[in-house]
Amino acid sequence: MRAFKLMTGLSGGVTALSLALMPIAALAAGPGTAEGNLTTVSSGYVADSTGNAEALSNAQFTVMPGELTLDAVPNIALGSTNVKDIASAGAALNATSANTSGGNGYDGNGSGNLNVSDYRGNHAGWTLTVGMGPFSSGPATIDSATLNLNMSKGTVDNSGTAAPTALTLNQSEVTNGWVASPQTLWNAAANTGEGSNTATTATSSSLQVGKQSNISAGTYTATLYWTLQNAPAAAAAPKAAS
């Protein structure tokens, strides 16, 4: 504990009188405390031959929280096939760099870009899911189609953020305007996913169309349903030992 500096050259009686008339903190060298400090109770800290006067003050700023946002989702354009191939054996269609045309989804981009930004500042993590509705062309439908969706991880501000997961999406029922069985594409655990996170549709993405003898010619479109949740997906429970 810092010793108090008492004025020298005074008689014991004068010193005692001085201490009685003024706060003892006024003779201290500092720094102050919450109970007694230079601003509220002291007339000044003493600097003399026995030591320096010392004081502490504060610098402060506030960081305001931002938002977790879904900034970009990709359209998935696939190559063409023909009635004979689907009617006889089905077809595998690779993803292309082209954009889609038509359909009921209006939020997708033709560059294959996927982007999630997290500027909340709470390090809570997040989850992005996606599901695929059925393919149709007017009244014509596809009996069986499976989208192998692969997203290549791009730039992320937190290097610990995991890459998107490769998914196999089947045509799913749409109930009350939303797909019934979405899957987790990108999961940012707590303390990851902060800042900007980008991914791009990989050329390895493809659509497998099952054999269908009654296939109709036309351009078929399915809607992709994307959902960003403000917490990471729960980890799967460990399997019980057999």
Average pLDDT, the chain: 89
Decide if 29 contacts 45 (C-beta within 8 A). yes
d(Cα 97, Cα 113) in Å, to the nearest integer?
A: 11
Residue 17, pLDDT > 60, answer no
pLDDT of residue 18: 43
Comparing 88-97, 120-129, 230-239, which segment has the lowest mean pLDDT?
A: 230-239
Express each pLDDT in 165-192 by its tens digit. Answer: 999 999 999 999 999 989 999 999 999 9
Residues 6+ apart with CB under 8 A from 99: 75, 77, 109, 110
Question: When comparing pLDDT for 5 and 159, which is higher?
Answer: 159
Domain region containing 114: 68-229
Q: Residue 85 belongs to a domain with what CATH number?
A: 2.60.40
Domain count, the chain: 2
pLDDT at 25 over 60: no
Residue 238 falls inside a structural domain: no
Is 0.85 surpassed by the pTM of this model? no
pLDDT grade for 233, boundaries at 50, 70 and 90:
confident
Whether residue 53 is found in the same domain as residue 76? no
pLDDT at position 19, please? Answer: 40
Question: pLDDT band at residue 8, thresholds of 50, 70 and 90?
Answer: very low
Sign of CA dihedral 94, 96, 101, 103: positive
Tokens 């997040």, located at residue:
126
Asked if residue 159 and residue 42 are part of one domain, the reply reads no
State yes or no: pLDDT of 13 exceeds 50.
no
Structure-model confidence comparison of residues 57 and 1, the more confident one:
57
Question: Does residue 188 sit in the same domain as residue 137?
Answer: yes
- 99 and 164 co-located in one domain: yes
Helix, strand, coil share of the chain (percent; to 5): 10, 30, 60
With respect to residue 237, please indicate whether it lies within any of the assigned structural domains: no
Residue scoring higher pLDDT (97 or 24):
97
Query: What is the reported pLDDT for 240?
Result: 60
Q: What is the pLDDT of residues 60-117, one digit of tens each?
A: 999 999 999 999 999 999 999 999 999 999 999 999 999 999 899 999 999 999 999 9
In a domain, 239, yes or no: no
**What pLDDT, on the 0 to 100 scale, is given for residue 242?**
52
Q: Can you give the pLDDT at residue 239?
A: 62
On the question of pLDDT at 22 being above 70, the answer is: no
Do 43 and 143 sit in the same domain of this protein?
no
| 33 and 85 belong to one structural domain | no
